[in-house]
Structure 1
Amino acid sequence: MTIELCDEAQEFGRQALRALRAAGGDELVQAAEREPRGRHDLVAPVLGALGAWDLEPRRDPEELEAAAALCRSAGYWATPYPVAERLARPVDMNVDGIVVVAGAEPAAALADVDLRWAAVTLDGARGDVTVLPSAVSARESAFVAGLRVRPVDTDGAADVALALVLPCWTLLGMLDRAVELAREHVLVREQFGKPLAEFQSVQFQLTDAEVDRRGVDMLARYALWSIQAGRDDALVDALALRSAILEAADTVFRIAHQLHGALGFCDEAPLSWLSRYSLPLRRLPFAQIGTDEAMTGLMGRRGPAGLFIDIGGV
């Protein structure tokens, strides 16, 4: 089992990070919030120039890793565009992307992106999507809109794991940035004549955030490998990753906001935008409890194999 991303995928992620920085970086999400209908033109051509939409993550393991690295870079800048959802598109439907949905009122952060979308449920039921008009502003909705799903088939079992895992890589990129912003903040802000970073309690908080971030980093790579290997438990691994990263996101953003204080909720702070636009990823298609229920429903009493599948008993 090899869970490290290949060199080419890592380099692709770095190039995407630079391209998004050059295109505006933190200002991308702010510009999209002011003019939601322009967010496709704001982001899609930048990633298209890198060849992002030519990736075939379902057919090539290295391109799957490149897609994951791209999603992570997009998350770092809170990129206001459904990158993961486009990359997870099924190969046997005439659509541009796919989202996992649940419940009687499906929704996704697809507002004002005029593309063809499909939806899939955990049990593999697929449908064509019509994105409904949103009654609230982008600032209030974070681009989330209701969906009308017209059933098409029940052949989507192979779609679900990838459509869950790639958005987790986007959220992982957001956690990367949140920890980085918190670290930078405590290094420059002073209290009682010395940087906040020198206080032991602050160091403990940052350590807790970093441990959680690194843990889900490993799980994200494992879930990706599980899809590459075609494991029967790939969906269980995807849900286990989602459960873990939702818990980590709660810890990381809580600590980042605590260390920033009131500034962390002001538009002047990148953390405020990052935190707000992480919410659709954390709440849809289901939040922590729904994720855990779905995972336990699939696993029963046997539990996930996990990272140490190849290690013998002790």
Structure 2
Amino acid sequence: MDPTAREALAGPVLADLGAWDLEPAQDADSLEAAAALCRSAGYWALPYPVAERLAVPTGLDADGLLVVSSTRPSAAIGGLEGRWIAVASDGTRHRVTGVSDPGPAFVSTLDLEPLDADGISDLPLALTLPCWTLLGMLDRAIDLTIAHVQMRQQFGQPLARFQSVQFQLTDAEVERAGLDVLAKYTLWSVGTGSPDALDDALALRMAALEAAEIVFRVTHQLHGAVGFCDETTLSWLSRYSQPPRRLPFGLSATRDQLTARIDRRGLAGLYTPEREAAR
């Protein structure tokens, strides 16, 4: 796809759906709708940064928010016009003043101009919504693989009849289902303004990356060699899952950031003494 055609193809459709009328940072219903939209965008591998557009900070003249690494900031916005704000994990915000020519999966390096250091409160939502996009991709990968093993015949019966295939699919589905539950919890944490929302968002990202690694490994194995051919939807889905899995930081860096934040106290969760007392 021509990167410059993305806005013309996807932008008007999303606008007609009322996507840009949502205010997930302000309204609980909008937050749930935004998460559902991101999940659907991931399911269909929509080549458009829906989560980043919906995470736009309140009170800033911007079209979207990008969480970036402090080293070589990059994002999958190649070929798109717009006023973008970039925020680093320490809360420093920058305006995006330039974008390089897009590489694979529309990823471009960004030229940044310092703005302020008030972005720490933007991070929970901006980290959570892309995880919903990735969850949608895992939904689709599982669905595609179930359809494939039910159709594909080996030794006179569908692959789905083999116990080893069933075990592999079960492992993948357990990861996907667990991520589904954690994503809903994190959405509640972000929506209620919990002081632990950023910790929860980082934990969600870590879980999403771990789940994606397992789900895509299993689904590629069960598709066989054809799963790496562009004739199959799984190949495209796997390819376009790379930006949300690698940007702004991968699994090891996510673990490091989460560990540095929670230290020895651990994650709060639903059933801490303070929350039980509040009930």
**Range into which the TM-score falls when normalised by the shorter chain:** over 0.9
Deviations 1:189-228, CA, capped at 9 Å, x for gaps: 0100000000000000000010000000011011110011
Taking the TM superposition and a 5 Å limit, the aligned residue runs for 1:103-142 are 103-134=70-101, 136=103, 141-142=104-105
Structure 1 residue ranges (4+ consecutive) displaced by more than 3 angstroms after TM superposition: 307-312
CA contact (8 A) 1:111 1:131 kept: no
Match of 2:8 in 1: 41
Match for 2:29: what amino acid?
E
Of the candidates 131, 150, 156, which is equivalent to residue 168 of structure 1? Answer: 131
CA contact (8 A) 2:38 2:132 kept: yes
Match for 1:52: what amino acid?
A
CA contact (8 A) 1:219 1:307 kept: no
- Paired with 1:135 and 1:297, the residues of 2 have a C-alpha distance of 33
Deviations 1:103-162, CA, capped at 9 Å, x for gaps: 3210000100101100011121101013422264xxxx1000001111110111110110
- Cα–Cα, structure 1 residues 194 and 307, in superposed 2: closer, same or farther, change >3 Å? farther
Of the candidates 221, 231, 235, which is equivalent to residue 258 of structure 1? Answer: 221
Deviations 1:267-293, CA, capped at 9 Å, x for gaps: 110000000000000000000000000
Taking the TM superposition and a 5 Å limit, the aligned residue runs for 1:212-251 are 212-251=175-214
CA contact (8 A) 1:187 1:197 kept: yes
Q: Does 1:54 align with 2:21?
A: yes
Once the two structures are TM-superposed, the CA of residue 307 in structure 1 deviates from its matched residue by 4.5
SS of 2:109 mapped into structure 1: strand
Match of 2:110 in 1: 147
Once the two structures are TM-superposed, the CA of residue 308 in structure 1 deviates from its matched residue by 4.2
CA contact (8 A) 1:130 1:148 kept: yes
- Paired with 1:219 and 1:104, the residues of 2 have a C-alpha distance of 29
Taking the TM superposition and a 5 Å limit, the aligned residue runs for 1:74-89 are 74-89=41-56
Deviations 1:76-111, CA, capped at 9 Å, x for gaps: 011000000000000121000001111321000010
CA contact (8 A) 1:96 1:116 kept: yes
Match of 1:203 in 2: 166
Task: For structure 2, list consecutive stretches of 5 or more residues without a partner in the other structure.
Answer: none
Match of 1:183 in 2: 146
Taking the TM superposition and a 5 Å limit, the aligned residue runs for 1:7-22 are none
Of the candidates 57, 68, 75, which is equivalent to residue 90 of structure 1? Answer: 57
SS of 1:70 mapped into structure 2: helix
Task: For structure 1, list consecutive stretches of 5 or more residues without a partner in the other structure.
Answer: 1-32
CA contact (8 A) 2:206 2:254 kept: yes
Match for 1:113: what amino acid?
L
Q: TM-score scaled to structure 1, two decimals?
A: 0.86
- Paired with 2:118 and 2:260, the residues of 1 have a C-alpha distance of 20
- Paired with 1:278 and 1:130, the residues of 2 have a C-alpha distance of 26
Match for 1:236: what amino acid?
D
- Please report the RMSD computed on the Cα atoms of aligned residues, expressed in angstroms: 1.2
